[in-house]
Each structure stands twice: as structure tokens, then as C-alpha cells.
Amino acid sequence: MLVAYPPEFRREYGPHMAQVFRDCYRAERHAKSRLGIGRLWVHTFIDLIRTAPSEHWDNLRKDNWIMNKLRKNGIAILVTLGIIIGAFFLLSYGRRNEVSWILTVGYVLDALVTAGVIGNLIVFLLIMITRFNPLRIALWTLLVVNGLLLILSAVIGSRVDPQFKLATVLIGYVVSFVFWFGLHWMWAQRQSSLPAAT
């Protein structure tokens, strides 16, 4: 049950919390009270539900962790938004004015915008709230999002668009995956080459 608490708190107080529980358990066993043992488990479980979130919240507040991450990733978020908005306007302009070269790469731009919005939103949220490796988060999220969007396009597109070409859509999502993951990889390289913040 101690796993529910933040690692720092667990390291500092975990053994003592376990000791206190053992003491209580021993006292109930000494009293030969099965009901008491049951009550102890329930009480400890309720106590865990009440206190573990507040310890996590305390930790976040103390470290200002989310704000630090947001500051650190602010540039990356802005660049991503810029690319998505740029690709969206380019696609709209190409369709409105029938610019042939834009229409040729239309599937790629479509995939870039859709997977970019959904994939990066999930990636940034996961980076904010978890402590997993950001590059690994980006790899798996973008892989899953691009894969799911490709399947969705294949299922829906073939029914609604008579000129639908699976190979073109496939290329679009492969390029989208390589592009977005490439950007995350470059960002990770840049971050690791910076001196550690004091």
C-alpha cells in the first residue's frame, strides 16, 4: 500500500508507517479480535485514500513541478502549435486556390495536422503528469495515434471517398510519424546538451 505515496515520502516515513501498522496489527492479534483486525485494515485503507493524494499534491506544490515542466517545454509547445497552424492554413489555401503541389501533399498535411493535434496533446499531458522518459512517451503515443488514425481513415475513407487511396494515406501517416517523432527527438537532444539547471 505504501506504493501509493510519493517516493520521497515513502523513503522518509515508509518503514515507520509499516512499523506502526505492524504494532497495531500485533495489538489486535494479542486481543484476539478478528473484527479488530478487519477494522484495522479498513481504517488503514481509508487513511491511505485520504492521505496519499494530499502527499502527492504537497509534492507538486513544493517542487512547482508542473510549472517548471511547462516553462521548460513552453518553446516546444509553441513550435508545435506553429507547425500545426501553418500546415492547416497551407492545406486550406491549397484547396481553396487549387494549388497543385499543395494538393499533391494534401494527405501528408492532413495527417500532420490531425496526428499533430491529438498526438502532441497527449504527449505533452503525459510529460506534465508523469515522470516517464519524454522521448519514450513521444515514441509510443505518436506510434499509437498515427496507427489508429490510419486505421480510421482506411475504414471511413474507403466508404465515403471513391478516389480514396490507402497507399497515399499510409505514406501520409508514416511521414507524419517520422516528422513529429523527429521533432521530439531533436528537442530531447537539445535538452540533454543544455547545462543542468541549478
For other proteins, the binding residues (CB under 8 A) are: 5, 9, 12-13, 15-21, 23-24, 43-44, 46-48, 50-52, 54-55
For residue 1, the minimal CB distance to other proteins (Å) is: 9
Render 58-124 in DSSP notation, one character per residue.
HHHHHHTHHHHHHHHHHHHHHHHHHHHHHHHHHHHHHHHHT-HHHHHTHHHHHHHHHHHHHHHHHHH
54 vs 100, beta carbon nearer other proteins:
54
49 vs 197, beta carbon nearer other proteins:
49
Contact in structure between 89 and 112 (CB atoms under 8 Å):
no
Chain centroid, CA 127 distance in Å? 5
The span from the first CA to the last CA of the chain, in angstroms, equals 34
41 vs 65, beta carbon nearer other proteins:
41
Task: Enter the C-alpha cell of residue 100.
Answer: 497543385
For residue 59, the minimal CB distance to other proteins (Å) is: 11
54 vs 163, beta carbon nearer other proteins:
54
For residue 13, the minimal CB distance to other proteins (Å) is: 4
For residue 53, the minimal CB distance to other proteins (Å) is: 10
